[in-house]
């Protein structure tokens, strides 16, 4: 791995350690600005909606001004809007800050993923994407610890620290990431929407991310409803991060990497179905943590191989737009998952939610090999004018 790629991973970890403030945006709006819960929800939703064009813009900018400039633009935008949120004393200013943050938030993802793809080949790509995702997981655990300390001192300080880590990340990127040049073929590469292979993988990934976000949003609610104790969420997160690190060697196992990585994807969905299914009967802290351990192994296989597949498909000059479009699955999942949880969580102690989610995940395991066959036998789209 080049020094630039290492610097990118370190910088993103630093940035992620400070990336806890968004979880407190609604609290800032209700406690500091005295907005209703409903109004705060609408403002947070506006932030989420703004992240969708942000990711698309990140891919478009990557293919035209290069990775370093795109990442710097996103980081400086995030820092600026975080300072606006920290200084906001009216709802109007907070709305401007929230929407501006959303428009900056996802700019850095397509260039980050494209650089990881460029640093690897078909054999090493899953492992490098795994390293990226596990570094973010570890940083998230540290972020939770920092947030727990700072939130008790001054809520606005959370946004100041987040902005500071964005600027620190930008300094590292500016110093160590090579300038790079935009690809001259960026304007003639095929658009992702025309690539049936990417759309098939996108559909598979979108269902997976909905399952993933159901777990993210639904687990704390389930733990609270069953009286297990919310402390278990923190323990589960920390243990899962350790397991994710220990599971990294799985990405180098030849048997799992067979069939273009679709063996690993199929195995990952089976393992994830087991973890989600356990949540249907989880009434003790030990079982919840066991679900987290099993789920962490599945996440390592699924996250790494899905992004490795998407980056492998991108033709020359289109890595940014391909990864940007592929990443839209997270925006869809973040919108859909809460609706599913709201409709099913309170029924029969949440058993239908978790059993149904496990069944859908098993269905993904059945469909995945067929998607692999489709990708192998489908030609990429012809090059067209942009």
Residues in Cβ contact with 131 at an 8 Å cutoff, skipping those fewer than 6 apart: 9, 248
CA contacts within 13 A on the Cβ side of 121? 1
Q: What is the band of 172 on the pLDDT scale with cuts at 50, 70, 90?
A: confident
CA-to-CA separations, 326 to 199, 202, 214, 286, 359, in angstroms, rounded: 8, 6, 19, 35, 24
pLDDT value of residue 190: 59
Other C-beta atoms lying within 10 Å of the C-beta of residue 194: 12
Least confident span in 81-95, 108-122, 252-266: 108-122
* Range with the poorest average pLDDT among 146-150, 259-263, 326-330, 358-362: 146-150
Q: Give the whole-angstrom CA distance, residue 57 versus residue 45.
A: 19
pLDDT recorded at residue 314: 79
Residue 384 pLDDT: 46
Contacts of 34 (CB under 8 A, 6+ apart): none
Which stretch of 95-109, 262-276, 313-327 has the lowest confidence by average pLDDT?
Answer: 313-327
Q: Which DSSP symbol is given to 37?
A: H
Q: How confident is the model at residue 355 (pLDDT cuts 50, 70, 90)?
A: very high
- pLDDT of 386: 40
Query: Please, what is the average pLDDT of the chain?
Result: 83
Tell me the CA distances in angstroms from 286 to 32, 216, 236, 292, one per residue in order.
37, 18, 9, 10
Which domains are delineated in the chain? Answer: 3-176 (1.20.1250.20), 192-377 (1.20.1250.20)
Contact 301, 212 (CB under 8 A): no
Banded pLDDT at 385 (limits 50, 70, 90): very low
Q: Are 112 and 8 in contact (CB under 8 A)?
A: yes
Q: Which helix (H) or strand (E) holds 181?
A: none
137-149 confidence digits (pLDDT tens): 777 777 666 666 7
How does residue 186 score in pLDDT terms, banded at 50, 70 and 90? low
C-alpha distances out from residue 182 to 271, 319, 321, 328, 352, Å: 40, 11, 13, 23, 49
Q: With pLDDT > 70 as the criterion, what percentage of the chain qualifies?
A: 88
DSSP state for residue 135 in the 8-state scheme: H
pLDDT for 277 beyond 90: yes
pLDDT at 113 over 60: yes
DSSP reduced 3-state for 185: coil
Instruction: Decide: pTM greater than 0.85.
Output: no
Question: Highest mean pLDDT: which of 8-12, 45-49, 217-221, 354-358?
Answer: 354-358
| Res 212: pLDDT | 92
């Amino acid at each position: 791995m080049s020094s630039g790629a290492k610097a990118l991973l370190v910088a993103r970890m630093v940035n992620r350690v400070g990336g806890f403030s968004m979880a407190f945006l609604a609290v800032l709006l209700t406690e500091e600005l005295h907005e209703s819960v409903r109004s705060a929800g609408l403002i947070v939703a506006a932030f989420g909606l703004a992240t969708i064009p942000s990711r698309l813009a990140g891919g478009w900018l990557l293919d035209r001004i290069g990775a370093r400039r795109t990442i710097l633009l996103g980081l400086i935008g995030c820092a600026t809007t975080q300072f606006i949120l920290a200084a906001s004393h009216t709802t109007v200013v907070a709305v401007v800050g929230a929407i501006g943050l959303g428009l900056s938030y996802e700019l850095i993802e397509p260039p980050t993923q494209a650089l990881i793809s460029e640093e690897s080949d078909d054999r090493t790509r899953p492992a490098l994407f795994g390293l990226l995702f596990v570094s973010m997981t570890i940083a998230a655990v540290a972020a939770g610890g920092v947030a727990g300390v700072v939130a008790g001192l001054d809520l606005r300080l959370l946004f100041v620290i987040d902005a500071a880590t964005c600027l620190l990340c930008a300094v590292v990127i500016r110093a160590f990431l090579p300038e790079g040049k935009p690809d001259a073929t960026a304007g003639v590469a095929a658009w992702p929407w025309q690539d049936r292979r990417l759309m098939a993988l996108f559909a598979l990934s979108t269902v997976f991310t909905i399952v993933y976000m159901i777990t993210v949003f639904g687990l704390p609610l389930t733990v609270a409803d069953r009286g297990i104790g919310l402390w278990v969420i923190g323990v589960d997160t920390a243990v899962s991060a350790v397991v994710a690190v220990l599971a990294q060697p799985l990405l180098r196992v030849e048997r799992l990497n067979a069939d273009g990585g679709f063996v690993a994807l199929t195995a990952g969905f089976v393992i994830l179905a087991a973890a989600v299914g356990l949540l249907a009967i989880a009434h003790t802290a030990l079982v919840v943590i066991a679900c987290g351990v099993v789920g962490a192994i599945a996440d390592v296989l699924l996250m790494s191989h899905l992004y490795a597949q998407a980056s492998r498909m991108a033709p020359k000059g289109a890595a940014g737009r391909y990864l940007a479009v592929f990443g839209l699955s997270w925006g869809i999942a973040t919108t859909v998952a809460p609706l599913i949880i709201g409709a099913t969580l309170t029924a029969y102690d949440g058993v239908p939610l978790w059993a149904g989610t496990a069944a859908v995940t098993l269905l993904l395991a059945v469909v995945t090999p067929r998607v692999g066959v489709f990708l192998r036998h489908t030609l990429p789209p012809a090059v067209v004018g942009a």
